[in-house]
Amino acid sequence: MKNKRLSSLQKLFVALVVTVFIVACSSVDCPLNNTVYANYQLVGPVTKLNDTLTISVARQGKDDSIVLNKDYNVESFSLPVSFSQDEDVLYFYTGLHKDTVWMQKTNRPHFESTDCGLNFFHTITGIRYTRHAIDSIAINHKEIDYDASRKHFNIFFKENRL
């Protein structure tokens, strides 16, 4: 009887150890690229910008923040997207021109696990812009998430900007 009871305790102990190992070995699959950027592609007659391009972002109650500084021969670029407001205001400086771009969006919290933290995905709902150097901007993909390969905006610059 004593051996039988010991055998039951041994089985319980083994089951407990196996359970602890299974729980301890669980892995969290946080994405390696867990930043969310809007990707812009130059299209149309100007597919490479031969001017310098500087882009700054207007921040509520703070100074503007430069997110792209004097880049040259630009064909595409990626910009961070805010999660604290429904509209991002971007200032594009090319050569002698300044354009303002207003990107309207919705912000959706995205939670995978406590190890990965909270992030925000976005759905683009509209875009407005001035037309000094920029001819037009077209929304290519509305959903902004971890997928860095998607081009969210096609941006057309004017050929004769001077």
Residue 82 lies in a domain: yes
Mean pLDDT of the chain: 86
Instruction: Domain of residue 76: give its range.
Output: 43-147
Residue 139 lies in a domain: yes
How far is it, in rounded angstroms, from Cα 100 to Cα 96? 14
Buried b (16+ CB within 10 A) or exposed e, 100-131: ebebebebeebeeeeeeeebbbbebeebebee
Residue 15 lies in a domain: no
Tell whether the model's pLDDT for residue 38 goes beyond 70: yes
Residue 153 lies in a domain: no
Residue 106 lies in a domain: yes
Residue 2 lies in a domain: no
Residue 155 lies in a domain: no
Q: What is the pLDDT of residues 125-160, one digit of tens each?
A: 999 999 999 999 999 999 999 888 899 999 999 988
Total domains in the fold of the chain: 1
Cα separations in angstroms, 96 against 15, 24, 133, 160? 73, 59, 9, 12
Q: What is the pLDDT of residues 52-94, one digit of tens each?
A: 999 999 877 777 788 899 999 999 999 999 988 999 999 999 9
